[in-house]
Amino acid sequence: MKRLLSLLLLGAVFFSNIGQLNAQDETATEETLAVEELAQEDALPETGFTQELKNRFIEGGPGFMGIVLACLIFGLAIAIERIIYLNLATTNTQKLTEDVENALKSGGTEAAKEVCRNTPGPVASIFYQGLDRADDGVESAEKAVVAYGGVQMGQLEKNVSWISLFIALAPMLGFMGTVIGMIQAFDKIQAAGDMQPSLVAGGIKVALLTTVFGLIVAIILQIFYNYIVAKIDSIVNDMEDASITLIDILVAHKK
């Protein structure tokens, strides 16, 4: 009997120790899992500005957001094409004027025209037209320079008006999306018969996102537009100064 009681006591102590060990193991496991979850949360990268912008754009919906994105794409395409064209159209007018003057003195009008043919840019084209009419008199050459200068200005300003259109169109589309979203939010309030913030908050947020992205597109395109306009003004000023210099050279050459 005593042996049986001893065995029962030993068994109780043994199973009690096993239960404590299991409880400790479970507690340790839970603590380990908690630590790992915290470590994983700390290891997650913070959402950057680009990712946040992308998420907001997706939240705005494909309707008006797609149109605003199309305005940005087409506007940037035209702006980049104009910037490349204007950079290629930029000419060292001082060097060209000196080369034309030296060619007139050494080889006459044909030599000067050859210099203009070998030089890219609107200023060289205007020089060529003026030299081509130089045999008819200085007045005829001046008229040709003025007329062809207008043609070259038109080439420089080609498609620039489309950029200004997209600048105006993008925020207007954003405002339209906002107004439509607000109307839909009020329709939900009317249908529910109760003013619940959670009922309309999502719709209002999406409606405001269209305006935000419309303004962002307008700001980006406005920067490119101002650069292009400044570049055109610089080239036009060079064209006008060079044209006056060419007429003076032709007058001196006729004497």
Do 10 and 121 fall within a single domain? no
Same structural domain, 129 and 179 = yes
* 73, 28: one domain: no
How many angstroms separate the CA atoms of 192 and 200, rounded?
Answer: 11
| Closest by CA position to 167, among listed 215, 209, 233 | 215
Q: Is the pLDDT of residue 223 over 80?
A: yes
103 and 210 belong to one structural domain? yes
Which span out of 41-50, 115-124, 206-215 was modeled with the highest average pLDDT?
Answer: 115-124
Name the domain count of the chain: 2
Mean pLDDT score, 103-128: 86
CA pair distance 214, 172, nearest whole angstrom: 7
Is 119 within 8 Å of 95 (Cβ atoms)? Answer: no
Q: Higher model confidence: residue 195 or residue 124?
A: 124
Residue 20 sits in the same domain as residue 135: no
Which residue is associated with the tokens 């912008």? 53
**92: which DSSP letter?**
-
Q: What is the mean pLDDT of residues 186-205?
A: 68
Helix (H) or strand (E) holding 235: helix 197-254
Instruction: Provide the pLDDT for residue 197.
Output: 67
With a cut of 60, say whether residue 125 has pLDDT above it. yes
Q: Does 252 have pLDDT greater than 90?
A: no
**pLDDT for the residue 108:** 82
Q: Are 240 and 193 in contact (CB under 8 A)?
A: no
Q: Is 146 found in the same domain as 24?
A: no
CB-count exposure of residue 197 (10 Å: 0-12, 13-18, 19+): exposed
131 near 247, Cβ under 8 Å?
A: no
**Residue 182 pLDDT exceeds 70:** yes
Range of the domain at 235: 51-254
19 and 127 both lie in a single domain: no
Same domain, 68 and 99: yes
Query: Based on the domain organization, do 221 and 178 belong to the same domain?
Result: yes
Q: What is the pLDDT of residue 25?
A: 45
Portion of the chain with pLDDT greater than 90, in percent: 17
Residue found by looking up tokens 């003076």 in the block: 248
Are 214 and 144 within one domain? Answer: yes
114 with 30, same domain?
Answer: no
Mean pLDDT of the chain: 75
Instruction: Please give the pLDDT value at position 9.
Output: 42
* Residue 28 shares a structural domain with residue 136: no
Share of residues in the chain with pLDDT > 70 (%): 69
Can you tell me the distance from the alpha carbon of 129 to that of 78, in angstroms, rounded to the nearest whole number?
29
Mean pLDDT over 99-114 rounds to: 84
